[in-house]
Amino acid sequence: MAQTILIIHTGGTIAMAENKKTGTVTQSSANPLRDTTEQFGDLNFIILEPFQLPSPHITLTEMLTLKQLIETELTKKSIHGIVITHGTDTLEETAYFLDLTVDTEIPIIITGAMRSSNELGADGPVNFINAIRVAADPSSSGKGVLVVMNDEIHAAKNVTKTHTSNVSTFQSPQYGAIGTITKRVIHFHHQPIEQEKFKITHVDKNVMLLKAYAGMDSALFLSLAEMKIDGLVIETLGQGNLPPDTLTGITKLLNDEVPIVIVSRCFNGIVEDIYSYEGGGYDLKNRGLIFSNGLNGQKARIKLLVALVHGENKAYLQSVFMR
């Protein structure tokens, strides 16, 4: 019996076209990928378009919609794989959100494009075709949400956009791609050893993300305290350090019982409680900041949003972020 692949189009450059007169890129009136599936005569397709948005317009609301849509379709039909097309700017965040919240062994593949459908060297069609191939391949099962771009397969937890326009923009610092795609085969050479799943029905927490810089003071932190936020992620300096002038604002947030998670603004390595000077990692750990095990800032924010649905206990949150 032929496999069934669920395809969910959400917009982005992969569904856009370039205006040859102005050079601007806008949404196409018809999805340029609509006829691409015809070459897969041995597969059945369910094609849905819940929304068509450029990726900077994607919010947690749309991510939750995708989660719920996938779960609904999985209960109604026998689906062997899922492909989601998505704009690249926030693709990694949607991928990680679904990786954390959709509990299934069925492959979920997210792909996009760096060049619109009518540009020279458009990468959308080949990325889409490869994503379908990976979704239909039995070896893709049980590996969590995967990102397929530029003939590579990446784990949602590790992949990030590293270049503003290059087609090889999606990389996994420290770990690398978990698989490659050739004209004939899908080849996995390693896979994540752990998967986390959180049962959620809503995401209503207000979590902010800040990036540390030389000479940073408490102004932004004190402003956030006035906003009554639910959580904060800080991309700290180096191994997990902050300028000492930030500590007044951070202390205010901690006294208000706002959980603060720190990651590094470096894209390799993890934060650790090493330096004991004022604002150093050891000092921050003793003050009650939560250390993360290698996530980047945008993904740590997604994880904190999801984890806060289950509880705000510091010990619980610290255990979540050390996995």
If residue 171 lies in a helix (H) or strand (E), which one and from where to where?
strand 170-171
Whole-angstrom distance, CA of residue 8 vs CA of residue 132 = 12
Q: Which of 10, 13, 88, 236 is catalytic?
A: 13
Whole-angstrom distance, CA of residue 200 vs CA of residue 318 = 19
Whole-angstrom distance, CA of residue 116 vs CA of residue 99 = 27
Residue 73 one-letter amino acid: E
Choose among 264, 298, 275: nearest CA to 156.
298
Whole-angstrom distance, CA of residue 240 vs CA of residue 142 = 33
152-155 vs 160-161, strand pairing mode: unpaired
Q: Do the Cβ atoms of 85 and 8 come closer than 8 Å?
A: yes
Choose among 154, 148, 197: nearest CA to 172.
154
255: left (phi over 0), alpha (psi -120 to 50) or beta: alpha
Active site residue 13: yes
Buried b (16+ CB within 10 A) or exposed e, 56-88: eebebebbbebbebbeebeeeeebbbbbbbbbb
Q: Do the Cβ atoms of 83 and 22 come closer than 8 Å?
A: no
Whole-angstrom distance, CA of residue 61 vs CA of residue 172 = 26
Would you give the end-to-end CA distance of the chain in angstroms? 39
Q: Do the Cβ atoms of 113 and 143 come closer than 8 Å?
A: no
- Residues composing the chain: 323
Handedness of CA 223, 225, 231, 236 (dihedral sign): positive
Q: Which positions are catalytic?
A: 13
